[in-house]
Structure 1
Amino acid sequence: MPPMELDRTDIAILRALQADGRQSNLALAEKVNLSPSPCLRRVRQLEEAGVIRGYTALVDPKAYGLPLTLYVRISLERHARDVVETFEQAIEKLEEVVECHLLTGGADYLLRVVVADLEDYQRFMSEEIHVIPGVASIDTSFALKTVKSSRVYKKP
């Protein structure tokens, strides 16, 4: 299915929902200058087209008990299909990994990992990451502070 063509109103709806996904349809309609019925119809169309993939709560990892955020760059020994599939399937099962991106450049993957403390990180690395076949190298950086975290995309 070809991607949905987004107009200015669709983009306004998306930005408003990214900023506050719990707002009522009435509040959303007011923000985007539509009446409630057409606004709801557009939201449903965006959902059905897969532009809106779902709704979730943004939970503070520190309040949840996972104050340590790490960025882990991983390179594979080789890029054969079986190695890549094995790695990606293993990563999908790990709850500590909240994001995994296939990259260009020096490393093959970038993981965003949240853990409780250094001991939890050491356990995660030795029991979960190091045992995945085909991993050639691992380079980890600790996030010291979050300067910006936004879920609202810029206007196209």
Structure 2
Amino acid sequence: MDTLDQYDRHILALVQQDGRISLSHLAERIGLSETPCVRRLKRLETEGYIHSYHAVLSRKALALGVLAFALVHFGEHDRTLYDRFEVEIQGIARIVACHSVAGSADYLLQIVAKDMDDYGQFVHDVLRVLPGVAAVESMLAMGEVKPFSGLPLL
């Protein structure tokens, strides 16, 4: 990947803030004509700086009142179990993010649920029966202080 210049960084900042920004408005905001702006945007997409475009949905509007973080602990450290676990969680929509982590746990999951009963049932019926899972430690979000709003362009 090439080094980003000020125009590239500005394009990335603007499309990260509003993925539906028109090309003419984007070009105007960064101070280039539309043709070089479009070329830069396409290059940023091709080089992998822009992974995808999507809408940020409201958990509240979708009645997903619980946001939980679950530390998943494995009973044994077996690559086959990790692989099976990672494949299975890909198909579980309410797990909105999963990270392999260092420390006392093996994975950190971000999970949404309708309410506490729904979350409890999910942990019991889905999480605890996944391959390799020995224990699940839940942390419940009491409030969202700073929602994800994009990556920093350092």
State the TM-score, normalizing by the size of structure 2: 0.94
Task: Tell me how many residue pairs correspond in the alignment.
Answer: 154
Percent identity of equivalent pairs: 36
Residue number in structure 2 paired with 1:140: 138
Per the alignment, in what secondary structure is the counterpart of residue 106 of structure 1?
Answer: coil
**RMSD over aligned Cα atoms:** 1.2
Deviation at 1:38, TM superposition (A): 0.7
Structure-to-structure mapping, 1:47-58, within 5 angstroms = 47-58=45-56
Per the alignment, in what secondary structure is the counterpart of residue 114 of structure 1?
Answer: strand
Match of 2:36 among 21, 31, 38: 38
Residue number in structure 1 paired with 2:18: 20
Residue number in structure 1 paired with 2:113: 115
Q: Structure 1: how far apart are the matches of 2:49 and 2:62?
A: 29
State the TM-score, normalizing by the size of structure 1: 0.93
Q: Structure 2: how far apart are the matches of 1:65 and 1:120?
A: 12
Match of 1:5 among 3, 11, 18: 3
- Whether the 8 Å CA contact 2:128–2:135 is kept in 1: the answer is no
Q: Structure 2: where are the runs of 5+ without partners?
A: none
Q: Which residue type is aligned with residue 87 of structure 1?
A: F
Q: Structure 1: where are the runs of 5+ without partners?
A: none
